[in-house]
Chain A
Amino acid sequence: MSASAEIGHQRALAAAAPRAFFPSLLILLGLAMAVVPYWSDDVQLREGFLLAAVYITLASNLNVMIGYAGYINFGNIVFFGLGGYVCVDLVTRLHWPLIAAALAGGLAVSLLALVFGFGILRLRGAFFALATIGVNEAVRQFVANFEPWGGATGIYLTFDAYDPLGGPMAALWLVYFLVVAVMVLSLLLSYAIKRSKFGLGLLAIGQNEDAAAVLGVRTPRLKALAYSVSAFLPAVAGGLFFFKSGIIEPNGAFDLTLSIEAIVMIMLGGSGTVAGPLIGAFLYEELRGLLLTSPTISQLQLVIAGLVLLVMVLFAPGGLVGFVNQHWPRMRKFLQ
Chain B
Amino acid sequence: MIGVLASVIDGVLVGSVYGLAAMGLTLIWGVMRVINLTHGAMIVLGMFIIYFLAKATGLSPYASMPIVVVVAFGVGVATYWIAVDRVIGRPILMSLLATFACNMILIGVGTALWTTSPYNVPVSLPGISWQGYTFTGTHMMAAACAGLIAGLLYLFLNHVRYGKAIRAVASNREAAELSGIPTRQVLAVTFGIGVALACAAGALIATLFPFTVLSGSSYQLKSFVVTVLGGLGNPAGALLGGIALGLIEGLATPFMPVSWTPIIEFALFVVVLLAFPRGIFALSRA
| B100–A141 CB distance below 8 A | no
By size class, the interface of chain B is 35 or more
Among B37, B97, B103, B105, the one with the most A-chain Cβ atoms within 10 Å of its Cβ is: B97
B70 sits at the interface (CB 8 A): no
B176 sits at the interface (CB 8 A): no
| A303–B266 CB distance below 8 A | no
Q: How many residues of A contact B (CB 8 A)?
A: 37
| B266–A137 CB distance below 8 A | yes
Contacts of A66 in B (CB 8 A): 93
List residues of B (254-281) whose CB comes within 8 Å of A's CBs: 259-260, 262-263, 266-267, 269-270, 273-274
Binds B, one of A84-92, A116-124, A224-232: A116-124
**Given known contacts A72-B93, A303-B105, is B270 in contact with A131 (CB within 8 Å)?**
yes
A122 to B108, CA, bound (A): 32
A119 to B274, CA, bound (A): 8
Q: Which of A127, A302, A305, A309 contacts B111 (CB 8 A)?
A: A302
Q: How far is the CB of A11 from chain B (nearest CB, A)?
A: 18
| A303–B104 CB distance below 8 A | yes
A2 to B103, CA, bound (A): 23
| A260–B269 CB distance below 8 A | no
| B224–A302 CB distance below 8 A | no
B5 sits at the interface (CB 8 A): no
Q: How far is the CB of B106 from chain A (nearest CB, A)?
A: 8
A125 to B99, CA, bound (A): 14
A266 and chain B: residue at smallest CB distance: B97
Among A134, A267, A299, the one with the most B-chain Cβ atoms within 10 Å of its Cβ is: A134
Q: How far is the CB of A255 from chain B (nearest CB, A)?
A: 14
Chain A 167-200 interface mask (CB, 8 Å, partner B; 1/0)? 0000000000000000000000000000000000
| B94–A313 CB distance below 8 A | yes
| A127–B273 CB distance below 8 A | yes
Overall SS of chain A's interface? helix
Chain A 119-143 interface mask (CB, 8 Å, partner B; 1/0)? 1101101110111001001100100
| B274–A126 CB distance below 8 A | no
| A123–B270 CB distance below 8 A | yes
| B266–A131 CB distance below 8 A | yes
A234 sits at the interface (CB 8 A): no
Contacts of A70 in B (CB 8 A): 91, 93
Contacts of B83 in A (CB 8 A): 310, 314
Contacts of A313 in B (CB 8 A): 87, 94, 97-98, 101
A127 to B274, CA, bound (A): 10
A119 to B108, CA, bound (A): 33
| B103–A306 CB distance below 8 A | yes
Q: How far is the CB of A195 from chain B (nearest CB, A)?
A: 23
B112 sits at the interface (CB 8 A): yes
| B35–A125 CB distance below 8 A | yes
Q: How far is the CB of B43 from chain A (nearest CB, A)?
A: 15
Contacts of B71 in A (CB 8 A): none
A161 sits at the interface (CB 8 A): no
B29 and chain A: residue at smallest CB distance: A126
Chain A 298-336 interface mask (CB, 8 Å, partner B; 1/0)? 011111111101100110010000000000000000000
Contacts of B108 in A (CB 8 A): 300-304, 306
| A126–B96 CB distance below 8 A | yes
A122 to B276, CA, bound (A): 12
B86 sits at the interface (CB 8 A): yes
A109 sits at the interface (CB 8 A): no
A302 and chain B: residue at smallest CB distance: B108
Chain A 1-12 interface mask (CB, 8 Å, partner B; 1/0)? 010100000000
A303 and chain B: residue at smallest CB distance: B108
Q: How far is the CB of A256 from chain B (nearest CB, A)?
A: 9
B283 sits at the interface (CB 8 A): no
List residues of B (86-145) whose CB comes within 8 Å of A's CBs: 86-87, 90-94, 96-98, 100-105, 107-109, 111-112
A168 to B67, CA, bound (A): 61
Chain A 62-75 interface mask (CB, 8 Å, partner B; 1/0)? 00001000101010
Contacts of A306 in B (CB 8 A): 101-105, 108
Could you give 5 example pairs across A and B, Cβ below 8 Å? A74-B100, A129-B96, A130-B224, A134-B270, A306-B105
Residues of A within 8 A of B (CB): 2, 4, 66, 70, 72, 74, 119-120, 122-123, 125-127, 129-131, 134, 137-138, 141, 260, 263, 267, 299-307, 309-310, 313-314, 317
Please give 4 more A-B residue pairs, beta carbons under 8 A apart, in addition to A131-B266, A141-B260, A313-B94.
A120-B270, A127-B228, A131-B269, A302-B104
